């Protein structure tokens, strides 16, 4: 079986924690990672504080195969992600010559002043590689296993599209959904026994409530089609036994 590849996400920004901005990137990253066989194992939301960013990225990059960050690479004073990532890796943060020239030419072509604020978007840790930004040009960057991208959803998604071909995916997680007309209290004990008997699967139980009745959506996941089929069959047999008791 292919190796298990893992990822973590770090969402950076006071505006997320205050509720002023609603995150739209976590779900998108989770969908993309699942599709290419990478397990998104953890998401952290951190404020625009250098020590918090440094501590989080150092914890995550040693624990997971890949780390993805969003936010904090714009032109304003509180966009401190590039400096913080550089500090985490122990390298300087400076203007990247390629990014600087690219942005300079873009603003000149549009008749706009290349202000000090705009120049900030060309700064990145020394030794980092560009992540192309086809939407607004200012690049993200990759250093080590950390991919640093914009927080604006359209830009993040475009950057991620450029990152995906560079990633090493693992075995894709397969899943099957089983409708259960009973509440969790009815099936909990038996479902736990099935999970113990099928350690190569993950069985999720998601309670629902509709029209005055409780029911449950059961999702069986596994990287093995054989294991998935076996566990799903046992779940379906359990439900049939409840429906037609001896």
Distance of CA 61 to the CA centre of its chain: 13
- Which pLDDT belongs to residue 122? 97
Would you state the structure tokens that stand for residue 74, as one six-digit string?
């714009």
37, β-bridge pairs: none
- Which pLDDT belongs to residue 2? 62
**pLDDT mean values, one per 10 residues, the chain (246 residues):** 86 95 96 92 97 98 98 93 98 97 95 96 97 94 98 95 92 90 93 95 89 89 92 96 83
- Which pLDDT belongs to residue 210? 78
- Which pLDDT belongs to residue 172? 84
Domains and CATH numbers, the chain: 5-166 (3.40.980.10), 174-243 (3.30.70.600)
Instruction: Check: CB of residue 49 under 8 Å from CB of residue 13.
Output: no
| Per-residue DSSP letter, 199 | T
| Residue listed under structure tokens 């997320």 | 16
Instruction: Check: CB of residue 220 under 8 Å from CB of residue 229.
Output: no
- From the list 177, 138, 144, the residue with the least C-alpha distance to 158 is 138
Indicate the pTM of the whole model.
0.84
Rounded to an integer, what distance in angstroms lies between the CA atom of residue 97 and that of residue 122? 8
- Which pLDDT belongs to residue 246? 63
Task: Count other C-beta atoms under 10 Å from residue 214's C-beta.
Answer: 14
């Amino acid at each position: 079986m292919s190796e298990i590849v893992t990822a973590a996400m770090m969402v950076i920004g006071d505006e997320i924690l205050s509720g002023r901005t609603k995150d739209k990137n976590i779900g998108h990253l989770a969908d993309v990672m699942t599709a290419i066989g990478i397990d998104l194992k953890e998401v952290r939301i951190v404020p625009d504080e250098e020590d918090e960013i440094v501590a989080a990225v150092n914890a995550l990059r040693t624990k997971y195969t890949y780390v993805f960050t969003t936010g904090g690479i714009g032109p304003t004073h509180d966009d401190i992600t590039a400096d913080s990532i550089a500090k985490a890796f122990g390298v300087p943060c400076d203007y990247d010559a390629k990014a600087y020239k690219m942005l300079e030419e873009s603003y000149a072509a549009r008749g706009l002043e290349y202000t000090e604020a705009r120049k900030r978007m060309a700064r990145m840790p020394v030794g980092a590689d560009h992540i192309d930004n086809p939407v607004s040009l200012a690049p993200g960057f990759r250093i080590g296993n950390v991919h640093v991208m914009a927080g604006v959803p359209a830009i993040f998604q475009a950057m991620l599209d450029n990152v995906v071909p560079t990633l090493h995916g693992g075995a894709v997680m397969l899943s099957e959904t089983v409708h259960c007309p009973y509440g969790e209290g009815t099936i909990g004990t038996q479902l736990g026994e099935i999970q113990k008997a099928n350690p190569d699967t993950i069985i999720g139980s998601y309670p629902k409530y509709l029209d005055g009745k409780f029911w449950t959506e059961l999702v069986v996941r596994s990287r093995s089609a054989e294991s998935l089929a076996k566990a799903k069959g046992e779940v379906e047999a359990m439900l049939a036994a409840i429906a037609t008791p001896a």
